[in-house]
Structure 1
Amino acid sequence: MAYWYNVDTKQVESDDTRSQNAEVMGPYETEAEAAAALATARANTEAWDEQDRKDREWESGDAGA
């Protein structure tokens, strides 16, 4: 069974209870993963932003400076 995080209601939903046309994130394998959806998304975004910063430094020749 898949789980979803509903951004509107801030609730975890299963395939059986998932709102139609709702703003949901997922699917996740567990309820706990779905409940942590916003924190996971935030951490991923921060990691990607940091990698982008490093890539820009490398491309501009500032890496290791």
Structure 2
Amino acid sequence: MSDDENLWYYSVSDGSVHQGKGTHVFDRMGPYPDRATAERALEIAAERRKAADAADEEWNN
């Protein structure tokens, strides 16, 4: 199994989590190091977006 196949991905279309790149590139988020982290993919993305928005706001002011 390659390194990519050992990593975890979140499927945007149905919310499933799976090991390996099983879904199309535009339908997956990841890779994540483990299942628990992949299950938090949307939460992680929201946290990153919030941090980026805050950085943009700080830079603009």
Structure 2 counterparts to residues 26-65 of structure 1, below 5 A:
26-57=30-61
| Number of positions where the alignment pairs a residue of Structure 1 with one of Structure 2 | 55
CA separation in 2, counterparts of 1:46 and 1:53? 10
Whether 1:25 and 2:29 are equivalent positions in the alignment is yes
TM-score, L = length of structure 2:
0.83
Q: Which ranges in structure 1 are unaligned for 5 or more consecutive residues? A: 58-65
Residue identity over aligned pairs, in percent, reads: 27
Cα displacement (A) at 1:18: 1.8
The root-mean-square deviation of aligned C-alpha atoms, in Å, is 1.4
Tell me which structure has the larger Cα radius of gyration: 1
- When you count helix as a share of all residues, which structure comes out higher? 2
TM-score, L = length of structure 1:
0.78
After superposing on structure 2, the runs of 4+ consecutive aligned residues of structure 1 that deviate more than 2 Å are none
